[in-house]
Amino acid sequence: MTSLTKLIYLPWWWFKAAVLGKHSPLQSVIFISDRCNLSCKHCSVYNHTAPIDKTFDQIRSELEYCYSLGSRFVDFEGGEPFIWRDGDRTVNDLCRLARSMGFFSCTITTNAQQSFDGSVADSIWVSMDGVGEDHDSIRGKGAFGRLEKNIASCGCKALSVNMVVNSLNYRGVGRAIEYAAANPSIRSISLNFHTPFEGTEALELPRDKRHEVVDLILDYKKKGYPIMNSRSGLKKMRDNKFRQRCWMSNFIFADGTRSDTCIGQKAGVCSKCGFCMAGEQSAVMELKPDTILSGLKLRV
């Protein structure tokens, strides 16, 4: 698929959605497993008692379904995607499969606790919830050291880090941004806020603190730090008072449930949503140039 084909598809998709009102996802998030090698304080996705690992064939049919909806970008999620196996197959086989079907790009979100040298993903998102002790206080002792070692050795060109800001780590946001800028293995940092799913409510950042953090991130962005969030998207996330366009992503969970919107809606937490993608998607539909540029940088 040439870059030109991709660039034509995107305005066509936007025209269909915005002008003809035909909403279809552009991005699919497929949870390939809920097996994980960490037990992060803020997360409710991992399952240590009876983890599910999808088969290669199941994921193939899920990819076919997503593609048939019009989606062209896929994110493999977990659990921990790099520990997924079906026989000899690894998540690299899933990336190759997705591209052979016509997906424009394939992204993997990882905790970077084991080596992912030789990854064939188009981009890798490493979850980094602060620097050093900040990260370890959420993800467990030694997690930051393993992350540092594995991102240094992987040789990935398109590696970014993603920080979920919560009541434990919000004071370390500036440090994390500076660390990402100084680390040659990291291309950029994206910032999200904790979404208070059941059992993790205590980690929610109070609204006044969220305002402070958004303003701080905007300041760093102004100074030229490599922050993936767009200014327009970030401003929407200050108060979550924007028109939701979360239909731009569809989700297939580890148990195979297919959803045309994020689980936050079902959990009733949209007003407290911290997934900054929600603000970015809303801004894309309003044709905010800065958001479109950062989306293209990330995906195309």
Ligand X SMILES: C[S@@+](CC[C@H](N)C(=O)[O-])C[C@H]1O[C@@H](n2cnc3c(N)ncnc32)[C@H](O)[C@@H]1O
Q: Which is nearer to ligand X, 197 or 247 (CB)?
A: 197
Give the shortest CB-220-to-ligand X separation in angstroms: 20
Cβ 238 vs Cβ 273: under 8 Å: no
| Closest distance to ligand X from the beta carbon of 148 (Å) | 15
Q: How far is the CB of 13 from ligand X (least distance, A)?
A: 25
Chain positions contacting ligand X, by CB under 6 A? 36, 42-43, 45, 77-78, 80, 109-111, 127, 162, 164, 192, 194-195, 197, 200, 274
Place of tokens 């040659």: 184
Question: Shortest gap between Cβ of 265 and ligand X (angstroms)?
Answer: 14
Q: What is the DSSP string of 73-116?
A: EEEEESS-GGG--BTTB-HHHHHHHHHHHT-SEEEEEE---S--
Report the residue number, 70 or 146, with the smaller CB distance to ligand X: 146
Closest alpha carbon to 93 in 72, 108, 104, 78: 108
Inter-CA distances, 121 with 101, 108, 114, Å: 15, 7, 16
Shortest distance, position 80 Cβ to ligand X, whole Å? 4
For ligand X, the nearest residue by Cβ is: 127
Min separation Cβ 109 and ligand X, Å:
4
CB-nearer residue toward ligand X: 111 or 282: 111
- In this structure, the strands spanning 258-259 and 249-252 are antiparallel
User: Judged by CB, which is closer to ligand X: 9, or 197?
Assistant: 197
Which CB, 274 or 295, lies closer to ligand X? 274
105/111 with CB nearer ligand X: 111
Query: How many other CB atoms are there within 10 angstroms of residue 285's CB atom?
Result: 15
